[in-house]
Amino acid sequence: MRGIVWFRRDLRLHDQPALTAACQECDEIVPLFVFDEPLLQSDVFGPACVNFMLGCLRELASSLAARGVMLQWRRGEPVSTVVQVAQELKADVVYWNRDYEPAAIERDRQVQLALAERGIRTKTFKDHVVFEAEEIRSATGEPLQRYSAYRARWWAKWQATKPSPLTSPAFKVSTSVPSRSASRSLPSPIELGCDPVVPWIDPGERQAQMRLQEFLGKSVHVYGEGRNRPGIDGSSRLSPHFRFGTLSVRTAVHEALAALAKGGRVSRADVLTWIDELVWRDFFQQVLSAFPHVAKGPFRHVAVPPVREPGGERDRLFQAWREGQTGYPIVDAGMRQLNRTGWMPNRVRMIAASFLIKDLRLDWQSGERYFMSQLLDADVAANNGNWQWCAATGTDAMRGHRIFNPALQSKKFDPGGEYICLYVPELAKVSRKWIHEPHLMPVDEQTRAGCYIGRDYPAPLVDHRQAREEYLSLGKQRTAR
């Protein structure tokens, strides 16, 4: 029997359910990757992602080649391409791991139908999450809308089932599969329509494993505090690996619990807090899966203040936010880091999102789209879930009209301003006292620091206190209606 393994967001050999099943059931397997042309041409898949993905694919291709199997790759519209390859190679079965984004679900449905019409079977597997939406439900069988309730059930299910990771499968080497693309190397970023950049986080399965071990051996012990400190290496930085599946989320949970079981200086609270973030990840995947309308708009229509009317002023504010020119150093550092590296720490993502929505009163979906186009870990479920959380429109949203004060956040989480100086170099000589609110610097301080506000660094785009009052007052008017 000949099986095709269609790799998508699972670019690894270890603990890979579709690949393992194909290796067990087939005499010959053909690994396939399809560069989705319509997706690559859209602005939702930015250069950071493309370059990271290519790095992962290069390693996958070489790991497969070392086992005598050639990764086949094609470019095109995925439905017709997969069907065509399956026919060309006379495949009996096509295997893949499930994806929960609405567009991916529709794509996979069409592939399944088209293959069935041609007598080719399909087998799909859970991989991207620890538990799928149907596995965690309320007592009445409904999807859960509150993270706290979801988390309690997730842990109960984990204790009851403890899903084990799979080991790397044994490959049966095939010599009869035509290798049309085997001798060709993978396309370059330029061929895929984007500039080559060295990914800020090293791609590939090996790097993912190394980073996981490094994190569990070190930073996880201070994770509770470290994750909020943008100036230090305080979180795992594994999200791009989870996004492209170079690391299995099951493996990550097992390894974290194993580190805890070993004892020593491991902090139980910190490890469990870290696993809880993976539960948030599963939670947002189940929200997208159970309520696909969130991908297009708010989960619920709540009385939030109106956004600015389209026009020149709105465009000016949005551009300044995107380019990191708001006059609020912590926001600007985050946005510039995002533009330069495809990365931003979670705390700064929350501050930048709150600033866009509440201080600038711009619609959260424009921020959501911009993050998708830039982030290395761009993921519809996590991105949408977090933006809706910040906008208070989501399932489990930030309560009330909570508004981050960017200067206070900055003083609390980047007290020495190290993170700010890394990405806003014009503030490098500004003293600690003024780094969080440089517009308050007296002129002689500006001279001393070689940074004049309005010339070298922008004055604040809006006054935070005034913007906050406006937002709250507009919110009250909406609620009173």
Ligand X SMILES: Cc1cc2nc3c(=O)[nH]c(=O)nc-3n(C[C@H](O)[C@H](O)[C@H](O)COP(=O)(O)OP(=O)(O)OC[C@H]3O[C@@H](n4cnc5c(N)ncnc54)[C@H](O)[C@@H]3O)c2cc1C
For residues 179 and 74, the answer to whether their CB atoms sit within 8 Å is no
Position 55: which residue type? Answer: G
Strand order in the sheet with 28-36: 72-76, 28-36, 2-7, 93-97, 121-125
Contacting ligand X within 381-410 (CB under 6 A): 382-383, 386-387, 390
Pick 334 or 438: Cβ nearer ligand X:
334
Q: Shortest gap between Cβ of 277 and ligand X (angstroms)?
A: 3
| Out of 10, 255, 379, 437, the residue judged to bind ligand X by CB under 6 A | 379
Q: CB-based contacts of 461: which residues, under 8 Å, 6+ apart?
A: 317, 320, 321, 325, 326, 327, 328, 359, 360
Q: Shortest gap between Cβ of 446 and ligand X (angstroms)?
A: 33
- Taking CB under 6 A as the binding criterion, the range among 65-73, 273-281, 331-339, 461-469 that sits at the site for ligand X is 273-281
Q: Shortest gap between Cβ of 253 and ligand X (angstroms)?
A: 10
Nearest to 458 by CA among 298, 324, 352: 324
Size of the site for ligand X (CB under 6 A): 28
Rounded CA separation 75/70 (Å): 16
Q: Does 242 bind ligand X (CB under 6 A)?
A: yes
Binding mask of the shown chain, residues 316 to 355, with x at each position contacting ligand X by CB under 6 A? -----------------------------xx--xx--x--
Q: Shortest gap between Cβ of 334 and ligand X (angstroms)?
A: 10
Rounded CA separation 18/234 (Å): 33
Pick 329 or 367: Cβ nearer ligand X:
367
Q: Shortest gap between Cβ of 227 and ligand X (angstroms)?
A: 5
Nearest to 4 by CA among 34, 36, 40, 42: 34
Angle at 72 (CA atoms; ends 69, 78), nearest 5 degrees? 145
Nearest to 253 by CA among 242, 237, 264: 242
Q: Does 246 bind ligand X (CB under 6 A)?
A: no
Q: Shortest gap between Cβ of 366 and ligand X (angstroms)?
A: 12
Pick 257 or 428: Cβ nearer ligand X:
257
- Taking CB under 6 A as the binding criterion, the range among 135-143, 191-199, 293-301, 371-379 that sits at the site for ligand X is 371-379
For residues 436 and 442, the answer to whether their CB atoms sit within 8 Å is no
Angle at 349 (CA atoms; ends 345, 352), nearest 5 degrees? 135
| Out of 238, 333, 398, 435, the residue judged to bind ligand X by CB under 6 A | 238
Position 139: which residue type? Answer: A
Pick 6 or 370: Cβ nearer ligand X:
370
Contacting ligand X within 27-66 (CB under 6 A): none
